[in-house]
């Protein structure tokens, strides 16, 4: 994605991912202020940012400057060194993560 969207920082090997899943998305609008976008999907047997993701589901909705994100995933073990690029952080992080977040004033960053 880093190469395709011309974002060199995302082209680093530590962000290498292999995604296997299904996504449904729809949207309309010409600017962030009037954009309406929604996406829902699942990933299975994937790798994401250096970690293995056996199952993840997500829902994303954005309407006029507000984005709402829900994510549920479990990870059997990820190496923080792979994502951070710092060998001193070598190890294994295991667990589940459920996120339900709302982000306002999206176009303001």
The dihedrals phi and psi of 76, each to the nearest 5 degrees, come to -80, -5
Q: What radius of gyration do the chain's Cα atoms show?
A: 16
Query: Quick check: 50 and 82 in contact, CB under 8 A?
Result: yes
Please give the pLDDT value at position 107. 73
Q: What is the pTM of this model?
A: 0.63
Please give the pLDDT value at position 50. 66
Question: Average pLDDT of each block of 10 consecutive residues along the chain (109 residues)?
Answer: 70 78 91 84 83 85 87 76 79 82 81
Q: Which two tokens stand for residue 86?
A: 């710092």
Please give the pLDDT value at position 42. 92
Please give the pLDDT value at position 63. 85
């Amino acid at each position: 994605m880093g190469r395709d969207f011309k974002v060199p920082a995302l082209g680093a090997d530590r962000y290498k991912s292999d995604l296997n899943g299904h996504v449904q998305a729809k949207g309309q609008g010409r600017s962030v202020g009037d954009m309406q976008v929604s996406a829902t999907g699942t990933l299975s047997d994937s790798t994401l940012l250096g970690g293995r993701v056996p199952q993840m589901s997500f829902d994303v909705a954005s309407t006029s400057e507000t984005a709402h994100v829900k994510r549920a995933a479990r990870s059997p073990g990820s190496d923080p060194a792979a994502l951070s690029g710092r060998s001193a952080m070598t190890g294994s992080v295991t667990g589940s993560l459920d996120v339900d977040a709302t982000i306002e004033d999206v176009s303001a960053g």
